[in-house]
Amino acid sequence: MFGIGRELNEKQWRAAIRQLVAMDHLHPDSEAFGALKLTDSARGVLKGETEVMLREETPGSSVRASRTKSRRGDISHPSAGQDEAGDPTLLGALRAWRSQIARQRGVPAYVVLHDSTIDGIATSRPRTLEQLRDIPGIGDKKLEHYGEELIALVRPAADCSRNLRSGSPEP
């Protein structure tokens, strides 16, 4: 059983799950933060008594342009700099911090900060609360609750990056 479905990529899995929700074999549970739960009709599918035919998601189908909404509400297209993933070490540290906070609060990690917000922090490496506030996904409440901790996580990576660009040795 382990490894079943490994041949499907994330997009294909999402398409399959959407179809299973539409067929009423899965449903979102609002009490469990939107987690998917099996319905009674799913029992027959799992036992092999009910056959399910899914539409295959082909590569390149329904490709949408990537756009983000700015603070003013207008649509902005990502610039070349926004596509950069940022420092993998910093990304790992930010995700570990987010997981720890989520466990403490008993909520899913995306409630603390979305992946796109984590990516924005890792890419822009804010050194001040004002710079952090400019990242999409950081509002007043998140800035108040997490701002100092995030700046403390980012500062060493930002200092290292600045030292490498200027040619001076790391401290």
Work out whether strand 26-29 and strand 35-38 pair parallel, antiparallel, or are unpaired.
Answer: antiparallel
Q: pLDDT at position 131, please?
A: 92
Q: pLDDT at position 72, please?
A: 47
pTM (predicted TM-score) = 0.47
Q: How many helices (H) and strands (E) does the chain have?
A: 7, 4
Residue at 27: amino acid letter: H
Q: pLDDT at position 98, please?
A: 93
- Ranges of the chain with pLDDT below 50: 63-68, 70-83, 163-165, 170-171
Q: pLDDT at position 79, please?
A: 42
Q: pLDDT at position 47, please?
A: 83
* Alpha-helix residue ranges (DSSP H) falling in the chain: 10-22, 40-47, 88-105, 109-112, 115-124, 129-133, 140-166
